[in-house]
Structure 1
Amino acid sequence: MIPDIWAMPSGFPELAPGQVQVWRLRTDRDPRAGLALLSPAERRRAEGFRTELMRARHVAAHAAVRLLLGRALGVPGDQLRFGQNAWGKPELVGPDSGGGDLRFNLSHSGDWALVAMARGIDVGVDVELVSDPPPIEVASMVYSAAERAALAALSGPALTAAFYAIWTRKEALSKGLGLGFSIDFASFGVSPEPSLGISRPLLPPKLEAAAGWHLVDLPPIDGAAGALAVPGGDLEVSAWRFEAGLWGL
């Protein structure tokens, strides 16, 4: 179930029920090809960024989502329409949505983006650029008491690895549940151990809807950390590289 490398596909791999695909891409690329795929609203959001690099990253990430979902559905990516749930999680809507069966999640940080996709189940993914030392003040706001205690016993690279393992696992779970910042991040816990393969969150009663969710480690990402959240422990997870020029982006 747990992928150990980011594989390069020879074509678009089939996405069958019970499978989860996670795609890794760099977003520091010429945005012109991607712009043609975006909706007018997405282009306006891109224009609102302060720098060219930030605009390019936004365009690349959202164009890749359209290309990947379009491939999975067999429709042009620029025809896809998106809405949001009550807490702001993006979702496909309209006649090309696959009947609501195809679910996805996007995360991007710095030059990296991750896109997770599955049929019939929600998924959550997170990627974060790693800084050493980490912004440990974040822990006082959104980490549980047990997580903070675990970090207090560490230093150096071990502290950095544990800090980002916690961060990405928490973010991936909250995004998978689609509840956004309505979740009190300090109210639930995840393991600080960086290399578990698959783990379970420690949840309070009010998050009983997440009882079946698992947290999956992803293959290494240069200068970043990532995690995947899935609503079951028996799903087949694959990790793919989305390279520049693939399918025209």
Structure 2
Amino acid sequence: MQVWAVTLDENAAAAFQLYQRGLELVDADSRQRLQRFYHKIDSIRGLIGRLLPRMLLIQQGITPDGMTFGRTESGKPYISRQSMLQFPIGYNITHDSGLVAMAYDCSPGLYHDPPAYRIGVDVMKLQLPRRETFAGFVTIVNDQLTPLERNILLLPSLQETEALRRFYLIWTLKEAYTKALGLGLGFDFSRIEYDVPRNRVRIDGVVPQGWRFVRFQLAHSRSTGQDVYVGVAAEYTGGEQDGCVVEEGQPDAWLKVDDAVTFLEKALGT
């Protein structure tokens, strides 16, 4: 499993200039959906999200006219012509603010729940909603947290920056897990527990057998400052383990990061 992330500066004029040309790289239905967004920045984020799996397929030797995609009943996208590939590919897309990310796996060991497979990812920017205190923010989602999670978030000695980082790691892990399952809305997040200090995960009070979780963090320097994002990728690989430990993903071969202009230029050059 790996993650490919693309950063986007909302004031990047070059990305806006490449957007129109980039629309020609996706199918007509996707093009129409992207053009319905009221804000152009949302259209660009959506375009990047659609181009990420296409660029992955190109790296696997698939030409654009051989790419077809489908969706499960719950709306999870997947590659529908897996027979053209040497190994199957599972992927999941997420975005928040100025970051779009794709978790993917293309290995012979990928065989659980085809054709979408059990892989999910979620990212969030480290920021409080406007006019909210951290304690008030936690209160809003109180019923989606376990008692242990509330305790590790509201320690009196904990600095707010670390508390916020813990909260978004908890939340992105919950999101990544349910996305990997291919579930829509309605899954009770309080069934999922992430003990951030110990990097341990429990589902319904027990260790989830066969699951791999990798957390990551990256900074995006913009014209108006620096944003920090955290995220978690989740994948069901099968097998058993003594405990489910959340791994730390490093910005190397596991985590690939491009800025939007570079990514779009690559896509247009293929």
Moved more, 55-64 or 109-118: 55-64
Write out per-residue CA displacement over residues 186-243 of structure 1, whole angstroms, 9 at most, x where no aligned residue.
11211233xx6xx4421127x98x5221221224233211111122489997111234
CA contact (8 A) 1:108 1:126 kept: yes
Write out per-residue CA displacement over residues 18-70 of structure 1, whole angstroms, 9 at most, x where no aligned residue.
xx221111245231232112122212221221211111111122122211233
SS of the equivalent of 1:218 reads strand
Match of 1:47 among 10, 17, 35: 35
* CA distance, structure 1, for counterparts of residue 84 and residue 24 of structure 2: 20
The reply to whether residue 221 of structure 1 matches residue 250 of structure 2 is: no
Question: May I ask how many residue pairs the two structures share in their alignment?
Answer: 223
* CA distance, structure 1, for counterparts of residue 258 and residue 66 of structure 2: 21
SS of the equivalent of 2:69 reads strand
Question: Gaps spanning 5+ residues in structure 2: where?
Answer: 10-14, 112-117, 221-226, 238-243
* CA distance, structure 2, for counterparts of residue 50 and residue 183 of structure 1: 30
CA contact (8 A) 1:81 1:97 kept: no
Match of 2:235 among 214, 222, 230: 230
Letter in 1 for 2:145: Y
The residue number in structure 2 matching 1:15 is none
Write out per-residue CA displacement over residues 72-121 of structure 1, whole angstroms, 9 at most, x where no aligned residue.
2x112464221122322111113666388211111111111111111315
CA contact (8 A) 2:71 2:78 kept: yes
Match of 1:174 among 159, 174, 178: 178
Q: Following superposition of structure 1 onto structure 2, how do residues 131-146 of structure 1 map, counting pairs within 5 Å?
A: 131-132=127-128, 135-146=137-148
The residue number in structure 2 matching 1:8 is none
TM-score by length of 1: 0.77
CA contact (8 A) 2:215 2:230 kept: no
TM-score by length of 2: 0.71
The residue number in structure 1 matching 2:149 is 147
Q: Alpha carbons of 1:141 and 1:99: their partners in 2 closer, same or farther (altered >3 Å)?
A: farther
The residue number in structure 1 matching 2:123 is 127
Q: Following superposition of structure 1 onto structure 2, how do residues 108-127 of structure 1 map, counting pairs within 5 Å?
A: 108-119=95-106, 120=110, 122-127=118-123
The residue number in structure 1 matching 2:5 is 24
Match of 2:81 among 78, 81, 94: 94
Match of 1:107 among 72, 91, 94: 94
Question: Gaps spanning 5+ residues in structure 1: where?
Answer: 1-19
The residue number in structure 2 matching 1:211 is 209
Q: Which has the higher contact order (CA 8 A, sep 6+)?
A: 1
Q: Alpha carbons of 1:137 and 1:98: their partners in 2 closer, same or farther (altered >3 Å)?
A: farther
SS of the equivalent of 2:176 reads helix
CA contact (8 A) 1:67 1:77 kept: no
CA contact (8 A) 1:126 1:227 kept: yes
Q: Alpha carbons of 1:204 and 1:238: their partners in 2 closer, same or farther (altered >3 Å)?
A: same
Moved more, 136-145 or 100-109: 136-145
SS of the equivalent of 1:221 reads strand
Letter in 2 for 1:116: A
> How high is the sequence identity, in percent, across the aligned residues?
24
Letter in 2 for 1:170: K
RMSD (Å), alpha carbons = 2.9
